Copies of this chain bind each other. A is one copy, B any other.
Amino acid sequence: MKNINNINNKDINNNKINNKIYEKLKCRAELLLTFLNEHKRMPSYSEMMPLFSLKSKNAVFKIVNNLQKEGFIIKDDKGRIVFNSDFFSPAFSIKLLGRIEAGFPSPAEEELLDMISIDKLLIKNPVSSFLLKVTGDSMTEAGIMPGDYVVVDKSGTAAEGDIVIAQVDNAWTMKYLAKENGSYILLPANSRYKAIKPKNELVVAGVVTGVVRQYK
């Protein structure tokens, strides 16, 4: 650790240089991302040469090492490189910009590090998650409209207030899970529907962890 009082001109200059180097690396990481989006796989070192406008594989090699040092990419046990999924999605990445009310960001503000994958955002557990298309309007007041897709995780344990996929009296439905007089009931998010109080047992098949809607 460096004492804040000991920072001298050299450190400041180094930071300035390091930032410049970092910017160049980030630019090259973007080139890799473009290739990945286009080819659905990472380029080899030979393929990176024209990508980075270089004539030597060794130059690529050094750059890849620096990219790894900065955390952009990771080399797996076989020496193959993949994007660090903390920063990047292995597939489609999308720029996450600010909030709407905050004003529309200028292109210059578009930060590479804020690229995320919607898949990664919504799916914490790819194996036990699946998608269901919503029919019916019993959850419209919770913002879940007919035709939306819901991401369901069947491995999670449902808690009060969660939206769950449940089987009650031999029919499947999606409702809020709530408690009344010590027993679980299902609440719709539409004032035109009534709460469901299961006569028999309540089987919860999964917890809704996300909602996806697609406009044409």
Query: Which of A64-72, A82-90, A179-187 makes up part of the contact surface?
Result: A82-90
Contact of A94 among B101, B131, B135 (CB under 8 A): B131
Contact A91 B90 (CB under 8 A): yes
Shortest distance in angstroms between A96's beta carbon and chain B's nearest beta carbon? Answer: 5
Contact of A131 among B116, B167, B174 (CB under 8 A): B116
Bound-complex Cα distance A173 to B132 (A) = 31
Contact of A151 among B94, B132, B140, B173 (CB under 8 A): B94
Contact of A214 among B44, B97, B122, B174 (CB under 8 A): B122
Residues of B within 8 A of A100 (CB): 132-136, 165, 172-174
10 contacts between A and B (CB under 8 A): A41-B76, A41-B82, A91-B91, A91-B92, A94-B123, A100-B165, A101-B136, A103-B172, A121-B212, A209-B215
Contact A212 B210 (CB under 8 A): yes
Query: Which of A15-23, A50-58, A142-150 makes up part of the contact surface?
Result: A142-150
Contact of A119 among B85, B101, B119, B167 (CB under 8 A): B119
Shortest distance in angstroms between A203's beta carbon and chain B's nearest beta carbon? Answer: 9
Contact B214 A209 (CB under 8 A): yes
Bound-complex Cα distance A39 to B160 (A) = 35
Closest to A80 in B: B41
Contact of A133 among B98, B119, B210 (CB under 8 A): B98
Verify if A163 is at the interface (C-beta below 8 Å from B). yes
Contact A82 B40 (CB under 8 A): yes
Contact B122 A118 (CB under 8 A): yes
Residues of B within 8 A of A174 (CB): 100
Contact A101 B135 (CB under 8 A): yes
Residues of B within 8 A of A42 (CB): 41
Verify if A32 is at the interface (C-beta below 8 Å from B). no
Bound-complex Cα distance A145 to B213 (A) = 12
Verify if A48 is at the interface (C-beta below 8 Å from B). no
Contact of A126 among B44, B93, B167, B173 (CB under 8 A): B93
Shortest distance in angstroms between A115's beta carbon and chain B's nearest beta carbon? Answer: 9
Bound-complex Cα distance A163 to B116 (A) = 23
